[in-house]
Amino acid sequence: MSWRARGFLFENCSCQLVCPGHIHFDQLCTHERCRGYWAFEFEHGLVEGTDLAGQRAIVAFDSPQRMIDGGWTQVLLVDRRASAEEQRVLEAVFDGSLGGPWQVLGRFVSTRLPTRTVCIEMDRAPMEQRLRIPGLLDSTVAAIRGRTRGEPVRFENIFNQIHAASQVIARGDADYDDGTIRFEHRGTHGLWSQFDWTVSE
């Protein structure tokens, strides 16, 4: 089946300023384990006849230092506003069963925890992204200011499976604990961009 989804994506993990695994999964991350999240807000998307516009989701993960080695633990968090059908489609997108970038990332996941339905609060601003799930996750990701004050520093023309080629470089704080995946970050790797995933038959 052909489908396309577009929107906004930001992330934070335990690595120092720029996560080596973000550049390529064969690079060694800063610590023995890389733990963090990707957060998504869909702006457009028609997948299996289901409109995903306005939906929010988060993927939290725990991976080895060399991410390409696999053995990731991962969980999908879906906003409680999603209907049962919307949640089913989001699960199919993020477990890779519909193809696309998450099929590639899915090769590295050995433990996929049950999907959790939660209240996802996002506050997006030009230089800062805030994310909160009461009792589970609290995070702020702030852009690094460039030479032109008020403008962020960016990666340009960078390849990444889920991000656009232009990405804002940031620092983030995060506290997360679901009983299996846990992390506390202060001033660590952060990033955001648009995403545009297309699968053609």
* Domains of the chain, residue spans: 3-190
Q: Residue 195's closest CA among 93, 50, 73?
A: 93
Distances (CA, A) of 30 to 2, 17, 82, 100: 38, 10, 36, 28
Average pLDDT, consecutive stretches of 10 residues, N- to C-terminus, the chain (201 residues): 94 95 94 97 94 98 97 98 97 96 97 98 97 98 92 94 97 98 98 96 71
Radius of gyration, alpha carbons of the chain: 16
Predicted pLDDT of residue 150: 84
